[in-house]
């Protein structure tokens, strides 16, 4: 795999990936054009266990792959010396782009996202949900404090590391 990390003009981090072959490339084999689709959205987390419990518990994602990225290629991508990064791919119940967790073992500096209320529109992940009210109850039962719209069609919640998640009725 070849990857290029960069920021768009608004400062959002992006990564272009070229899969040379094998299972990761299979889903893109017949897609037309240069940019073939969105494979995943990555989230850097500091508390891997809490985030996995959140995403696999009330949200119902499943762990598809786990790996450890390290070495000179990862150092060049991240711009840090000698990184060791847990990479966990989580899949939703229906085929769609997946979520990828990045947990930096090294460096161990606090890489949590620093956002305020004014940043929420640009820093949230949006998922469709067939039952936002039921999801809200599951989130409450997990000890989280979701915020639901008056009509129950949307639910917002912050995950363990402060990332925003918006769920919209499908």
Q: Give 66-104 pLDDT, tens digit per residue.
A: 999 999 988 887 788 888 999 999 998 877 788 899 899
Max mean pLDDT among 3-7, 27-31, 39-43, 79-83 falls in 79-83
Residue 24: band (very low, low, confident or very high) from pLDDT cuts 50, 70, 90: low
Window from 126-130, 138-142, 153-157 with minimum mean pLDDT: 126-130
* CA 101/CA 98 separation, integer angstroms: 10
Asked if 56 contacts 90 with a C-beta cutoff of 8 angstroms, the reply is yes
**Which residue is listed with tokens 């599951």?**
138
Q: Alpha helices, DSSP H only, in 4-102?
A: 23-26, 48-56, 72-78
Mean pLDDT of 126-142: 91
Query: For position 30, what pLDDT does the model report?
Result: 72
């Amino acid at each position: 795999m070849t990857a290029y990390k960069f920021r768009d003009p608004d400062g959002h981090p992006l990564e272009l990936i070229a899969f040379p072959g094998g299972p990761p490339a299979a889903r893109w084999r017949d897609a037309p054009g240069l940019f073939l689709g969105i494979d995943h959205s990555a989230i850097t987390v500091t508390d891997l266990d809490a985030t996995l419990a959140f995403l696999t518990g009330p949200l119902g994602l499943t762990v598809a792959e786990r790996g450890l990225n390290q070495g000179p290629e990862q150092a060049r991508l991240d711009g840090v010396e000698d990184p060791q990064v847990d990479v966990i791919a989580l899949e939703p119940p229906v085929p769609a782009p997946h979520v990828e967790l990045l947990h930096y073992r090294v460096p161990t500096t606090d890489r949590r996202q620093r956002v305020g209320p004014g940043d929420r529109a640009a820093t949230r992940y949006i998922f469709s949900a067939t039952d936002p009210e039921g999801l809200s109850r599951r989130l409450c039962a997990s000890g989280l404090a979701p915020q639901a719209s008056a009509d129950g069609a949307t639910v917002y919640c912050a995950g363990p590391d402060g990332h925003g998640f918006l769920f919209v009725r499908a």
